[in-house]
Chain A
Amino acid sequence: KAGVTQTPRYLIKTRGQQVTLSCSPISGHRSVSWYQQTPGQGLQFLFEYFSETQRNKGNFPGRFSGRQFSNSRSEMNVSTLELGDSALYLCASSLMSGNQETQYFGPGTRLLVL
């Protein structure tokens, strides 16, 4: 089975721009979670989608948004980019958004904001 795939793998943007990142979960997985990883803050939860619905959201500003499509693929969008948004963005998929579900991570998209 193919793993979680994320595109693009690398991105360079300038302040004020917006960016869209894509995540394709493992086949059959319906839940997708997004995380931001930085050296200073570590891995922080952004949001989770299940059956095209956002079920949970972390403590990030409204500039961070996402969506999920009927095939479970997910996108996240960051508008009005700031220097501090430079990070590795990871998505993880699991079968369901249920109790104690194992999450499998993709390789991430590395975003650099100049």
Chain B
Amino acid sequence: GENVEQHPSTLSVQEGDSAVIKCTYSDSASNYFPWYKQELGKGPQLIIDIRSNVGEKKDQRIAVTLNKTAKHFSLHITETQPEDSAVYFCAASRGAGGTSYGKLTFGQGTILTVHP
């Protein structure tokens, strides 16, 4: 089955710096890659996603890049703020059908701490 590896497991940055989190996936049929932010006591919140026909997507301070050949994708957060501190998860899924319906395979998470 699909396996998603996420690095680093913890990341500490100063306010205003950039943060980069990387994920690799094993299933070449995966074609959808969302990123979630989870704050203490809350469920994961979608922050950005990318589909396999796109190499890069940006939304204000957040961007995601996808390299299908190398089977890895990355989250970039610029001008970090203390409120960006949370656990970030990458995930991957393949198209619908068979064992694919509704299934996201998650990375192990990155604890991001932004120091004021």
Contact = CB atoms under 8 A, between A and B. Distances in A.
Interface of A: 4, 31-33, 35, 42-45, 48-50, 55-56, 58, 90, 92, 94, 97-108
A42 B107 CA distance: 8
B99 A56 contact: yes
Contacts of A44: 106
B10 interface: no
A43 B89 contact: yes
Interface of B: 31-32, 34, 36, 41-46, 49, 51, 89, 91, 93, 95-96, 99-109
Contacts of A50: 101-102
Nearest to A57: B99
B54 to A, nearest CB: 11
A55 B89 CA distance: 24
A45 B105 contact: yes
A58 B41 CA distance: 25
Contact of B49 (A42, A49, A55, A102): A102
B64 to A, nearest CB: 14
Given A90-B43, A105-B36, A108-B43, A100 B93 contact: yes
